Amino acid sequence: MAKQLKKAAKTEEMDMLPVMSLMTVLIPVLLTMTAFQKLAIVEVNLPERSEISMDSEPPPPDDNALNLTVAITREYLEIWARGGSLPKEYYKEMWTFRCRVDGDTITYDPSTFEYDDKGAAKNPPKCQNGTMLDGEKFKYSIETIQLWALQKESEEDPGKVKMSVYSKSDSAYLDGNNEFITDLSVVKPGATVATLAESSARKLACGQSQPGVEDICSEGKPAISFRARSAYDELAKTLIMIHGRFIDSPDADNIIVLADDDAAFDKIINVMDRARDAGFFKINLAKLAAGG
Amino acid sequence: MARKTREYGEKITFSLTSMMDIMTIILVFMIKQVDTEGQLITAAENLVLPNSTSTKVPKEVSLGLVVDQNWVLVDGQRIIETSSVAAQDSLLVEALDVVLKEKREAEKAAMLAKGESDEGGGNVIVQLDKNTYYDIMFKVMATCGFSGFTNVAFAVNMKNAEE
C-alpha cells in the first residue's frame, strides 16, 4: 500500500512510446521516397534522316551558315565548321572503375583488356586488394571515362599526353592569352587566371575569400592539381572561340553531334554539355556513316 | 542481496523527449524535401545515369523509356532485349515502335477528350546507362521519333556545377 502511494505521488510523464514507433515507421518510408541524387534532363532535337544518308544531295551551301559539327570517334574529336575542319583533337581513353569491396578507384587503359570469343575480358580490372571485377559486366562499373588530350605530330605518332593545371573544383586554368596553363609554378597567390566559364577571370590568393578572388589553398597549402588535360576541355575552348566569332551566323546556336556506333552514351552527354555551355543550345544528333 | 532485488523491481523509464525532438526535426525536414521536389522522373534500378551540368528539370509528365543492361522498358514493362536492338541493322525497333504508337494514340485520345489539340504532348524521357553504345541510343531515339514521340529528352544526374 505504501508503495502504491509513492507511485501516485510521482509526476506523470507522457507515454511517448507509440509516437516513437510511429516516427520509426515514418522516417524509413520518407527516406525511401527522397531522391538523394537529383535528376535533370538533356533535350535533343531528333536526328534528321537526310544527314544520315551520305549519298543524298547536300542542301545548297549557305555562305553565312556555320554548319558546326562535332564528331566523336575512337581516337579523336573533330570539329567541322563552314565546310572546313579544324585540327583533330586526339585523345587517349582511360576508364576509372570503383571497386565495391573497398570503395577505391582504379584507372585502366581500355586497350590493355583482352577479350575472349564471348566478349568477356580475360584480364578484368583488379582492385587494390586483389579482387577481380566480373569479366563480362565490368564495363558497367566504369565510373568515369576520361579522355586525355594527346599531342600528336602525325597519325602514326603515339602522342604525348598534354598536361594542365586544374583548380580545386576541377576546372582547367587559362592564362591571359586564353591558353591552358601548363606550368604549375605560374598558378600561385597573386596571379590572375581564368577558367573556361564566361568572364571567370579571378585573382588567386591563399587563405582569403572575397568576390573576384579565389582561395587556392586548403589547410594552408595550395590545393591545385597538375594532371592530364581532358580532351573535353580542349573541345570546350574551341567551341567557345567559335561561338564568339560566328555569333552573327543564322545558325549560331546550332550544333550537330556525330558519333561512332560504339561511342559510350557518357561521351555524348559530356560533349553535349560542353556544347551547351559554349552557347550552342540546339543540339542535333547524327550518326557517322559506316567506315567514316 | 535485498538491495539488489529492489533495484531489479524498480521500473526504469527512458527519457524519450530528446529523441522525440530529433525525430520531429528529421520528419519535418524530410516532408519538406519530398514536397518541394515533386519528382516527375524516378531513376531506374538497373543502370547508372551519366553526370551532366544540365540544370533543366522535366516540367510535364512524360513517358518513361528505360534502356538498361538487359532490357528496353516502357513504363516499367519489358519490351525487347537490349542485345537484339544492338544486333539489328534497321533504325526502327519494331517491337518498341508498336508499343510507342499505342501509347501515343492513347495520349492523343486523352487530349482530344479534354478538348485540347492532339498536336501537343509526345514527350518521352529516355534513361540510358552511361555505358550504352551510341548505336542503341540512336535506334531508340529514332524509333521514338517515328512513333510520334518527338520531344525526346535524356535523363541525367545533376552535377553540382560550380561557377
Instruction: Kindly report the number of other CB atoms within 10 A of residue A152's CB atom.
Output: 18
Q: Do A42 and B54 touch (CB under 8 A)?
A: yes
- Terminal CA-CA length for chain A: 98
Q: Is A10 on the interface with B (CB under 8 A)?
A: no
How far out from the chain centre does Cα A31 lie?
A: 29
- Indicate the helix (H) or strand (E) that contains B94: helix B94-113
Tell which B residues from 94 to 113 touch A, by Cβ distance under 8 Å. Answer: none
What percent of chain A has pLDDT above 70? 86
Q: Do A273 and B33 touch (CB under 8 A)?
A: no
pLDDT range class, residue B161, cuts 50, 70, 90: very low
What topology is assigned to B51-158 in CATH? Nucleotidyltransferase; domain 5 (3.30.420)
Q: Do B141 and A44 touch (CB under 8 A)?
A: yes
User: Going along A49-110, which residue ranges are E strands?
Assistant: 69-72, 76-81, 84-85, 89-98, 105-108
- Identify which of B129, B134, B145 has the shortest CB distance to residue A46: B145
Q: What is the mean pLDDT of residues B88-108?
A: 88
Q: What is the mean pLDDT of residues A244-272?
A: 86
Q: Is the dihedral of CA B143, B148, B149, B151 positive or negative?
A: positive
Q: Do B53 and A264 touch (CB under 8 A)?
A: no
Which residues of A fall within a CB distance of 8 Å from B30?
27, 30-31, 34
The domains of chain A are located at: 166-228
What is the tens place of the pLDDT at every residue in A59-86?
Answer: 555 666 778 888 888 888 888 888 788 8
Q: Do A17 and B16 touch (CB under 8 A)?
A: yes
- pLDDT on residue A9: 58
Task: Quote the mean pLDDT of chain B.
Answer: 81
Q: Out of A30-39, A273-282, B108-117, which region has the weakest mean confidence (pLDDT)?
A: A30-39
The domains of chain B are located at: 2-37, 51-158
pLDDT range class, residue A10, cuts 50, 70, 90: low
Q: Quick one: how many helices (H) and strands (E) in chain B?
A: 5, 6
Which residues of A fall within a CB distance of 8 Å from B154?
41-42, 44, 269
Q: Is A17 on the interface with B (CB under 8 A)?
A: yes
Q: Is the pLDDT of residue A8 over 60?
A: no
Q: Is the pLDDT of residue A233 over 80?
A: yes
Q: Is the pLDDT of residue A135 over 80?
A: no
pLDDT range class, residue B7, cuts 50, 70, 90: low
Which residues of B fall within a CB distance of 8 Å from A33?
34
Residue with cell 582511360: A94
Q: Do B163 and A20 touch (CB under 8 A)?
A: no
Helix (H, G, I), strand (E, B) or coil at A246: coil
Give the residue with greater pLDDT, B87 vs A159: B87
- pLDDT on residue A51: 43
- pLDDT on residue A224: 81
- pLDDT on residue B5: 54
Q: Do B131 and A137 touch (CB under 8 A)?
A: no
Q: What is the mean pLDDT of residues A242-269?
A: 85
- pLDDT on residue B71: 87
pLDDT range class, residue A55, cuts 50, 70, 90: very low
What is the tens place of the pLDDT at every residue in A161-174?
Answer: 888 888 877 888 88
Q: Cα A34–A40–A45 angle (5° rounding)?
A: 150
Cell of A242: 567559335
Tell which B residues from 136 to 155 touch A, by Cβ distance under 8 Å. Answer: 137-138, 141-142, 144-145, 150-155
Q: Is the pLDDT of residue A53 over 60?
A: no
In single-letter form, the type of residue at position A19 comes to V
Q: Is A259 on the interface with B (CB under 8 A)?
A: yes
How far out from the chain centre does Cα A256 lie?
A: 19
Q: Is the pLDDT of residue B144 over 80?
A: yes
- pLDDT on residue B163: 36
Q: Is the dihedral of CA A263, A267, A271, A272 positive or negative?
A: positive
- Residue in chain B nearest A26 by alpha carbon: B27
Q: Do B128 and A265 touch (CB under 8 A)?
A: yes
In single-letter form, the type of residue at position A75 comes to E
- pLDDT on residue A50: 39
Q: What is the mean pLDDT of residues A32-49?
A: 73
Q: Is the pLDDT of residue A47 over 70?
A: no
Q: Do A42 and B56 touch (CB under 8 A)?
A: yes
What is the tens place of the pLDDT at every residue in A264-279?
Answer: 888 889 899 888 888 8
What percent of chain A has pLDDT above 90? 0
Q: Is the pLDDT of residue A7 over 60?
A: no
pLDDT range class, residue A56, cuts 50, 70, 90: very low
- pLDDT on residue B39: 62
What percent of chain B has pLDDT above 90? 1
What is the tens place of the pLDDT at every residue in A91-118?
Answer: 888 888 888 777 788 888 888 888 887 7
Q: Is this complex's ipTM strictly greater than 0.90?
A: no
> Is the CB of residue B63 less than 8 Å from the CB of residue B121?
no
Q: Is A200 on the interface with B (CB under 8 A)?
A: yes
- Residue in chain B nearest A168 by alpha carbon: B162
Which residues of B fall within a CB distance of 8 Å from A200?
163
B109–chain A nearest CA distance, Å: 24
What is the tens place of the pLDDT at every residue in B28-62?
Answer: 888 877 666 556 677 777 788 888 888 888 877 78
Q: Is the pLDDT of residue B162 over 50?
A: no
